Amino acid sequence: MADKLLDIQHLGVHFAIGGLFDKSTLRAVHDVHFSVDRGDIVALVGESGSGKSTIAKLICRLEKPTSGKILLDGKDVLETEPHAAGKEYRKRVQMIFQYPFGSLNPVHTVAYHLSRPLQLHQIIRSNDLRPRILQLLETVGLRPAEDFIDKFPHSLSGGQRQRVAIARALATEPDLICADEPTSMLDVSIRMDILRLLTDLRKEQQTAFIFVTHDLAAARQLADRILVLYAGQLVEEATSDDLIADPKHPYAQLLLAAAPQQGGSLDTPLPAKPGAPKNVDPQPGCAFAERCSQAMDVCRQQTPGWTWMENKRRVRCYLYGDTRADEETTK
């Protein structure tokens, strides 16, 4: 039976934007719920601005939600005492950032970067620091580790820097790592190596990953399940194979249609009706209705809820059932 590690319940972030007389609400993330089992890899996929990176930051407690719950092993981490519980939580939930050139401090060596989490979380005695750092470098494929430990970030390639960032995330032996587009700044040849490394880490250490990406091919290769986001809302969840073989939600279909056969990047424009995601002062109805070629009257009047399908698949669209958001049931 699956061992549930993380449970996200109705998570939301709404910002007030605008001036004194033209206040608006930006709904960056709205009513997002999903779970991650121990050793699971879940991909969050969507266009820029869909809320996927914000969700990763919320889960890593780098931003505060305005609503919802984050449960780790069934314990609501937002209710516990912020500082002490936050430190313990951060030990168990780590983040890899998108930009390997900015996530390492140029004035410090690799050894310094990897020693910080080990010291801050009092994981190791100072005599054992160097052997443990060498071991971490070996784990992420920087071999021989002695050649890298005293280097500064400027003398490393982008791929090597991202491996150092991954080693830093691994230092606390976390249960979950949120990887925010970890390969998007790297050359294509290096991307595959980093994805392989993450897959190996999952196998060897049972680390769960939330993999934020706009690269459907990478999501398929790495993830057990894919969650599709649009305008801050989840619109479809399925196993990677099911979603790539037969996307149900019209937006997921557009994402797949826009992805090249090789590489799967979504940098090319989507073959959709013109329009941007509506998440400023959102009105009732489907957020995708303006761009959807199959929109019906009901789509513009009431927000669709979840329709559940085989294989724990769910889709938020009236084409698959008349479930309204205010009367939906979770299964």
Q: CA dist 168 to 112, 137, 177, Å?
A: 10, 9, 11
Which token pair is 321? 């059932």
Q: Which is nearer to ligand SF4, 13 or 286 (CB)?
A: 286
Residue 308, H or E segment? strand 307-309
Could you say whether residue 229 binds ligand SF4 (CB under 6 A)?
no
Cα atoms found within 13 Å of the Cα of residue 206, Cβ hemisphere only = 8
Beta strand 176-180 with 93-96 is parallel
Of residues 181 and 242, the one with the C-beta less far from ligand SF4: 242
Rounded CA-CA distance 182/209 in Å is 12
Q: Considering beta carbons, is residue 198 or 317 the nearer one to ligand SF4? A: 317
247 binds ligand SF4 (CB under 6 A): no
Residue 288 sits in the site that holds ligand SF4 (CB under 6 A): yes
325 counts as binding ligand SF4 under rule CB under 6 A: no
Does the protein bind ligand SF4 through residue 294 (CB under 6 A)?
Answer: yes
Considering the rule CB under 6 A, would residue 155 count as an interface residue with ligand SF4? no
Distance between CA atoms of residues 218 and 163, nearest Å: 17
In the complex, what is the shortest distance from the CB of residue 57 to ligand SF4, in angstroms, rounded to a whole number?
27
Tell whether residue 222 is a contact of ligand SF4 (CB under 6 A): no
**Alpha carbon distance, N-terminus to C-terminus of the chain:** 17
Which is nearer to ligand SF4, 212 or 295 (by Cβ)? Answer: 295
Binding mask 268-287 for ligand SF4 (x = CB under 6 A): ------------------x-
> Which long-range contacts does 280-286 make (Cβ < 8 Å, 24+ apart)?
280/17, 280/24, 280/25, 280/26, 280/27, 281/24, 281/25, 282/27, 282/30, 282/231, 286/316, 286/317, 286/318
Of residues 208 and 255, the one with the C-beta less far from ligand SF4: 255
292 part of the interface to ligand SF4, by CB under 6 A = yes
133 binds ligand SF4 (CB under 6 A): no
Which of residues 136 and 235 has its CB atom nearest to ligand SF4 in the complex? 235
Sign of CA dihedral 105, 110, 58, 239: positive
Least distance CB 287 / ligand SF4 (angstroms): 8
| Contact residues for ligand SF4, defined by CB under 6 A | 249-250, 286, 288-289, 292, 294-296, 299, 304, 317-319
